[in-house]
């Protein structure tokens, strides 16, 4: 299998962490989605990463579909519970994290536009999504060790990738002050080898 992604993509990092936690070997192909010769457009018609090409050359996308597949093919360290209600709860955590990431990435892209073309209204709207999403994550987590209680799951991976992306791109957000329980979870996650091995490179100044 080949995983096409960028090293700074939080969605791609989620897939990479799942592979490491489940001891699944795959070839990592680093790509730049905006490059004219990016191979991703030939794999995923949306031109987005991550995209996984299976051994039979079938492509899978997006990250949520890929991690479901990976958890299914390997019995090691199940990350999505077998119980349907618990599985839906895990996927709810993942969906909220991915939605917050969507909002954060829209702000990053807006800030890359020329100043006169930037929309403060758009950025304020997306920032509201981030703030409300983080508040909900903190409320749902409470004082538990992991998102689902005593068991490490895909929900924790999704939260960890989100928080790391906010640290990378929104250093002035200071979410840690508002949500210390999320910070405790992040510290715990950052001790895992899978998180250490997939740390994103620092942004280019």
Q: In this structure, are 186 and 94 located in the same domain?
A: yes
169 domain-assigned: yes
Nearest to 153 by CA among 73, 67, 69, 50: 67
Q: Which two tokens stand for residue 127?
A: 């920032």
CA distance 130 to 136: 10
The pLDDT assigned to 35 comes to: 81
Does residue 181 share a domain with residue 91? yes
pLDDT at 22 over 60: yes
| pLDDT for residue 204 | 64
- Asked if residue 173 is part of any domain, the answer here is yes
CB proximity list for 25: less than 8 A, separation 6 or greater: 1, 19
Find the Cα–Cα–Cα–Cα dihedral 164, 23, 197, 148, rounded to 10°. 30
**86-105 confidence digits (pLDDT tens):** 999 999 999 999 999 999 99
Sheet holding 2-5, edge to edge: 27-30, 2-5, 51-53, 59-60
- pLDDT confidence tier of residue 46, bands split at 50, 70 and 90: very high
Same domain, 40 and 12: yes
What is the average pLDDT across 16-20?
98
Residue range 171-181: mean pLDDT, rounded: 96
Element (H, E) at 52: strand 51-53
Q: Are 29 and 3 in contact (CB under 8 A)?
A: yes
Residue 75 vs residues 9, 82, 130, 143: alpha-carbon distances, Å: 26, 11, 34, 29
- The mean pLDDT of 24-37, rounded to a whole number, is 89
| Range with lowest mean pLDDT among 29-38, 70-79, 115-124, 140-149 | 29-38
The CATH number for 117's domain is 1.20.1050.10
Query: Residue written as tokens 């006169």?
Result: 116
The first and second tokens of residue 107, run together, are: 């702000």
Question: In this model, does residue 202 exceed pLDDT 90?
Answer: no
Q: For residue 175, what is the DSSP state?
A: H
Tell me whether residue 181 is in a domain.
yes
Neighbours of 177 (CB within 10 A): 8
pLDDT, one tens digit per residue, over 117-144 is 999 999 999 999 999 999 999 999 999 9
Chain position carrying tokens 């981030």 = 130
Q: Report pLDDT for 36.
A: 80
Q: What confidence tier does 107 reach under pLDDT thresholds 50, 70, 90? A: very high
Q: Provide the residue range defining the domain that includes 179.
A: 84-192
Instruction: Give yes or no: residues 8 and 93 share one domain.
Output: no
Average pLDDT rounded to a whole number, residues 31-59: 91
Q: Please report the pLDDT score of residue 141 as a whole number.
A: 98
């Amino acid at each position: 299998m080949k995983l096409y992604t960028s090293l700074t993509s939080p969605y791609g990092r989620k897939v990479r962490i799942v592979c490491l936690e489940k001891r699944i070997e795959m070839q990592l192909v680093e790509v730049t989605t905006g490059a004219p010769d990016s191979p991703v457009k030939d794999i995923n018609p949306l031109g987005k990463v991550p995209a996984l090409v299976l051994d039979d050359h079938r492509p899978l996308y997006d990250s949520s579909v890929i991690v479901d597949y990976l958890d299914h093919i390997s019995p090691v360290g199940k990350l999505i519970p077998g119980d349907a209600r618990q599985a839906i709860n895990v996927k709810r955590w993942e969906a909220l994290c991915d939605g917050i990431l969507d909002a954060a990435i829209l702000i990053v892209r807006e800030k890359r536009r020329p100043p006169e073309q930037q929309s403060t209204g758009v950025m304020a709207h997306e920032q509201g999504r981030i703030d409300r999403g983080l508040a909900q994550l903190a409320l749902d987590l409470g004082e538990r060790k992991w998102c689902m209680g005593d068991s490490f799951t895909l929900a924790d991976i999704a939260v960890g990738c989100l928080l790391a992306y906010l640290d990378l791109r929104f250093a002035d957000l200071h979410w840690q002050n508002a949500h210390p329980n999320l910070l405790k979870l992040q510290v715990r996650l950052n001790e895992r080898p899978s998180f250490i091995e997939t740390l994103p490179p620092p942004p280019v100044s």
